[in-house]
C-alpha cells in the first residue's frame, strides 16, 4: 500500500512539472534575445517596380531576423525590440522597404502570448525616401515614462522629416498611435536631450520634456539668403502634442551668388569635392584643437583630437538646401554609424552637427558640433610628384624591411604589414603635401603597431660592391593650422639590403 502511494505521488509531481513547463513556454516569446537592431542593406534598387523580385544580401541576412512575418515584396532594414504596450513581453518595430512604395515603412508587431507569435497592429508610411538617412528609436520624449516612437530622415526634395508617435491603447491587440510631432524643413531638425533627476529615474516623478529645434530657410530675405528661422517646439500637456514655443531669426553669412550656385549645383559630388581636405573647429586653441578630414576620393572621414583618431567609411551623401547629409560607418567598431549634417556658412567655413548613432539622438551641442574652418595648404606639383615617387621607391622592391628589434615590415600597394614572433599588425598609407613637404600618414586597421599618424620620410642609400642598403627614416610630426612640426621623438628606422 505504501509503495502504491509513493508511486502515485511521484506520478502527480511529474504531471505537474510537465503542465508548468508547458504554461511557461507559452508565455515566453520566441527568440527573445533579439533586443538590438542591426541594419541590413538591400542589394536591389529601392526604386524598383512593384513586380520586381525583392532580395537581400545573403551575408547580411544571416546576422539579423525579424519575428514579424515579412511579405515576399518586403526588404528588412532594421529592428527594435522593446515592450511598447507595457505587457512585460518584448514587441518588435521594424523598418522595411516595399516594392512599389517610395518611402520607408514602419511596422509594429505586438507579441501574442496566447499564440506565441507577433501580430502586425500598425503600419506607418514615413515619407522618408532616402533610406540611408532613415533612423528610428523608442525614447521617453515627453518625460512621463512612456515609450514614444520617433523617426527622422530625408525625402527626395532634401527636406528633413521628424515625426513622433505615442501609443494610445493597451487593450490586448487594439493598439493605436497618436501623432504628437509632425515636422518637416529644408534645414535641419534636432532633439535637445538633457539629464533628468534621480527621482525621475526611480519613477517617483515625471521629467522635463525634450524640446525639438527646427532650422528652416528665411525665404523673406530672398532665395540666395542664408538666413534661417530657428523654431523651438515643446510638449503641451493641454494640447497633447508638440507646439511652437519660440522663433528666432539666425543671420547667415553671405556668399557670392555665383560661388553658392557652383558649390550647390544639385550634385553631391560637387559638394563632396568642396569638403575634401582638412577642417578645424573654431574657436579652439592649443591641445583642444579638433580636426575633421574629408577624403572624397577614398570615401573616408577622419576625426582627430589630441592623439586619437577615428576612421569612418563615407557610405552615402544626400544634399539639403544649404548643405549635405553624410552617413558614415566606423571601420573599427561594427555597426557604429555617424550622421553628419553640414551647412555651408562660407567658402571656407561650414557648420557641423553630428548624430553619434542611428539609435541615439544628440544634444543640441556635442563636442564635435560647431563651426569649422578649412585649412588651406599650398602645394606645388613638383613636391606632389616627389611624395608619390618616394612612396613608389619604398614599394619598388619585394625585399622586406626590417627593424632593430627583429620586426619584418612589408610595404606594397599603399598598405603596410608588420610581423614578429608575438603579434601582427597592418594598415594603410596615404601621402599628402603640407607646406611644400611630402608626408606619409600611417593608419592602423588591425593590431597594435609602432606606426601611427603623420611622418616626414627620408630615404638614404648606401652602395657596396655586392649590394645596396636602403634606410627609411620616419620622423613623427604634429599637424597644426600653420602646417606641421617635428615632435622631437626619435625616427622610426627601417632597413633592407638589395643584392646587385
Kindly report, residue by residue over 274-289, the tens digit of the pLDDT.
888 888 888 755 456 7
368 & 385 share domain: no
Residue 294 to residue 352: CA distance in whole angstroms = 13
Banded pLDDT at 50 (limits 50, 70, 90): very low
What's the pLDDT band for 495 if we cut at 50, 70, 90? Answer: confident
How confident is residue 249, by pLDDT bands cut at 50, 70 and 90? confident
Q: Please check whether residues 392 and 435 belong to one and the same domain.
A: yes
Are 454 and 353 in a shared domain? no
* Same-domain pairing of 476 and 369: no
3-class SS at 286? helix
Q: From residue 498, how far is each of 43, 114, 407, 462 by CA, in Å?
A: 48, 76, 18, 10
Q: Residue 436: pLDDT above 80?
A: no
428 vs 83: CA distance, rounded Å: 44
The Cα 117–Cα 100 span in angstroms is 28
Determine if the peptide bond prior to 264 is cis (ω within 30°). no
Task: Please check whether residues 359 and 410 belong to one and the same domain.
Answer: no
Phi then psi for 440, rounded to 5 degrees? -115, 135
**What's residue 101's pLDDT?**
92
Alpha-carbon torsion (63, 69, 73, 77), positive or negative: negative
- Cβ contacts of 303 within 8 Å, gap of 6 or more: 290, 291, 292, 309, 310, 312, 368
* Residue owning grid cell 553628419: 340
Are the CB atoms for 261 and 271 separated by under 8 Å?
A: no
Instruction: With beta carbons less than 8 A apart as the criterion, state whether 164 and 242 touch.
Output: yes
**Residue 130 belongs to some domain of the structure:** no
DSSP characters over 215-255:
EEE-GGG-TT---EEEEEEEEETTTTEEEEEEEEEEPPPP-
In a domain, 238, yes or no: no
Q: Which has the minimum average pLDDT: 38-47, 222-231, 253-262, 390-399?
A: 38-47
Establish if 328 belongs to a structural domain: yes
Q: How confident is the model at residue 468 (pLDDT cuts 50, 70, 90)?
A: confident
387 band by pLDDT with thresholds 50, 70 and 90: very low
Residue 36 lies in a domain: no
Helix (H, G, I), strand (E, B) or coil at 488: coil
- pLDDT tens for each residue of 301-341: 988 887 778 889 998 888 887 788 888 888 887 777 888 88
CA trace torsion 8, 9, 13, 15 (10° rounding): 20
Question: Exposed (0-12), middle (13-18) or buried (19+): which is 463, by Cβ within 10 Å?
Answer: exposed
Last residue of a domain, one of 341, 358, 374: 374
Read off the pLDDT of each residue in 385-407 and give the average, rounded to a whole number.
71
pLDDT of residue 124: 93
The grid cell for 360 is 541615439
Mean residue pLDDT of the chain comes to: 76
pLDDT-based confidence at residue 52 (cuts at 50, 70, 90): very low
Do 445 and 482 belong to one domain?
A: yes
- Percent of the chain with pLDDT strictly greater than 70: 73
86 Rama sector, left if φ>0, alpha if ψ -120 to 50, beta otherwise: left
3-state class of 394 per DSSP? helix
Q: 406 with 344, same domain?
A: no
- Domain assignment present for 444: yes
Highest mean pLDDT: which range of 53-62, 89-98, 372-381: 89-98
CA distances (Å), origin 264, targets 100, 155, 258, 298? 30, 18, 10, 22
Confidence (pLDDT) at 238: 92
For residues 488 and 419, state if they share a domain.
yes
- Give the pLDDT score at 357: 55
Residues near 36 by beta carbon (within 8 Å), at least 6 away in sequence: 81
Least confident of 29-43, 162-176, 309-323, 464-478: 29-43
Domain presence at residue 3: no
d(CA 92, CA 87): 13
In the prediction, which pLDDT does 49 show?
A: 37
Listed in order, strand segments (DSSP E) in 347-407 are 349-355, 370-374, 401-402
Quote the pLDDT of residue 350: 87
**Position 447 confidence tier, pLDDT thresholds 50, 70, 90:** low
Q: What is the pLDDT of residue 95?
A: 92
**Co-location of 330 and 428 in the same domain:** no
Looking at 374, 403, 425, which one is the last position of a domain? 374
pLDDT digits (tens, 9 = 90+) for 146-185: 889 999 988 888 888 999 999 886 555 567 889 999 999 8
**Cell numbers describing residue 322:** 544649404
- DSSP letter at 447 equals S
Q: Are residues 355 and 389 in the same domain?
A: no
Q: Tell me whether residue 445 is in a domain.
A: yes
pLDDT of residue 191: 86
Instruction: Using the 3D structure, point to which of 353, 374, 395 is the last residue of a domain.
Output: 374
Residue 345 resides in a domain: yes
The residues, any chain, with a CB within 8 Å of residue 281's CB and separated by 6 or more, are 289, 290, 291, 292, 368, 370, 371, 372
Does residue 28 register a pLDDT over 60?
A: no
Torsion angles phi and psi, residue 311, rounded to 5: -110, 125
Burial (Cβ within 10 Å: 0-12, 13-18, ≥19) of residue 79: buried
- Indicate which CATH number applies to the domain containing 471: 2.40.128
The C-alpha cell that represents 81 in the structure block: 525590440
- pLDDT higher than threshold 70 for residue 219: yes
Q: State the pLDDT at residue 7.
A: 53
Q: Say yes or no: 471 and 389 in one domain.
A: yes
What separation in angstroms does the CA of 307 have from each of 186, 263, 441? 37, 33, 14
Return the pLDDT at 230. Answer: 87
Q: Are residues 312 and 393 in the same domain?
A: no
pLDDT: is 113 or 136 the higher one?
A: 136
Residue 14: predicted pLDDT: 63
* Helix/strand/coil for 127: coil
Helix (H) or strand (E) holding 486: strand 483-486
Per the confidence metrics, is the pTM higher than 0.75?
A: no
- Predicted local distance difference test score (pLDDT) of residue 17: 59
CA distance 265 to 87: 52
383 contacts 436 by C-beta, under 8 angstroms: yes
Q: How far apart are CA 233 and CA 182, in angstroms?
A: 11
Alpha carbon 95 to chain centroid distance?
Answer: 17
Domain of 342, in residue numbers = 257-374
181 vs 148, 161, 241, CA distance in Å? 11, 10, 6
- Residues 86-124 pLDDT 10s: 778 888 899 999 999 999 999 998 888 888 888 888 899
Number of domains in the chain: 2
Angle at alpha carbon of residue 172, lines to 169 and 174, rounded to 5°: 50
Amino acid at each position: 500500500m505504501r509503495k502504491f502511494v509513493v508511486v502515485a505521488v511521484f506520478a502527480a509531481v511529474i504531471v505537474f512539472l510537465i503542465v508548468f513547463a508547458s504554461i511557461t513556454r507559452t508565455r515566453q516569446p520566441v527568440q527573445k534575445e533579439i533586443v538590438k537592431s542591426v541594419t541590413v542593406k538591400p542589394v536591389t534598387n529601392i526604386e524598383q517596380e512593384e513586380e520586381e523580385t525583392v532580395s537581400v544580401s545573403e551575408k547580411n541576412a544571416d546576422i539579423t531576423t525579424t519575428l514579424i512575418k515579412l511579405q515576399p515584396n518586403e526588404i528588412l532594414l532594421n529592428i527594435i525590440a522593446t515592450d511598447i504596450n507595457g505587457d512585460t513581453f518584448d514587441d518588435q518595430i521594424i523598418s522595411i522597404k516595399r516594392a512599389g512604395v517610395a518611402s520607408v515603412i514602419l511596422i509594429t508587431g505586438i507579441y501574442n502570448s496566447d499564440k506565441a507569435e507577433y501580430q502586425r497592429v500598425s503600419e506607418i508610411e514615413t515619407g522618408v525616401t532616402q533610406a540611408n538617412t532613415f533612423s528610428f528609436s523608442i525614447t521617453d520624449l515627453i518625460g512621463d515614462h512612456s515609450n514614444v516612437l520617433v523617426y527622422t530622415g530625408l525625402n527626395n526634395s532634401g527636406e528633413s522629416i521628424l515625426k513622433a508617435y505615442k501609443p494610445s491603447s493597451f487593450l490586448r491587440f487594439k493598439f493605436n498611435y497618436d501623432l504628437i510631432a509632425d515636422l518637416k524643413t529644408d534645414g535641419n531638425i534636432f532633439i535637445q536631450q538633457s539629464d533628468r533627476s534621480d527621482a525621475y529615474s526611480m519613477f517617483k516623478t515625471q521629467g522635463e520634456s525634450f524640446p525639438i529645434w527646427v532650422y528652416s530657410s528665411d525665404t523673406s530675405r530672398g532665395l540666395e539668403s542664408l538666413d534661417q528661422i530657428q523654431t523651438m517646439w515643446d510638449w503641451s500637456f493641454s494640447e497633447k502634442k508638440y507646439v511652437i514655443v519660440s522663433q528666432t531669426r539666425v543671420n547667415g553669412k553671405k556668399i557670392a551668388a555665383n560661388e553658392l550656385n557652383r558649390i550647390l549645383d544639385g550634385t553631391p559630388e560637387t559638394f563632396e569635392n568642396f569638403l575634401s581636405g582638412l577642417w578645424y573647429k573654431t574657436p579652439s586653441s592649443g591641445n583642444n584643437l579638433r580636426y575633421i578630414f574629408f577624403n572624397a576620393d577614398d570615401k573616408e572621414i577622419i576625426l582627430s583630437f589630441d592623439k586619437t583618431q577615428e576612421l569612418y567609411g563615407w557610405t552615402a551623401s544626400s544634399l539639403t538646401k544649404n548643405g549635405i547629409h553624410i552617413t558614415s560607418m566606423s571601420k573599427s567598431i561594427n555597426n557604429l554609424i555617424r550622421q553628419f549634417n553640414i551647412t555651408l556658412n562660407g567658402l571656407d567655413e561650414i557648420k557641423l552637427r553630428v548624430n553619434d548613432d542611428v539609435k541615439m539622438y544628440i544634444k543640441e551641442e556635442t563636442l564635435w558640433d560647431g563651426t569649422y574652418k578649412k585649412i588651406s595648404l599650398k602645394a606645388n606639383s613638383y613636391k606632389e610628384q616627389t611624395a608619390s615617387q618616394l612612396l613608389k621607391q619604398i614599394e619598388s622592391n619585394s625585399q622586406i624591411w626590417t627593424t632593430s628589434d627583429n620586426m619584418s615590415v612589408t610595404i606594397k600597394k599603399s598598405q603596410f604589414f608588420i610581423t614578429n614572433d608575438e603579434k601582427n599588425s597592418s594598415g594603410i598609407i596615404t601621402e599628402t603635401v603640407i607646406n611644400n613637404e611630402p608626408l606619409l600618414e600611417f593608419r592602423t586597421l588591425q593590431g597594435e603597431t609602432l606606426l601611427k599618424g603623420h611622418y616626414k620620410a627620408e630615404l638614404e642609400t648606401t652602395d657596396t660592391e655586392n649590394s645596396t642598403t636602403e634606410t627609411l627614416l620616419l620622423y613623427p610630426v604634429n599637424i597644426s593650422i600653420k602646417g606641421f612640426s617635428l615632435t622631437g621623438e626619435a625616427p622610426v628606422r627601417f632597413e633592407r639590403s638589395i643584392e646587385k
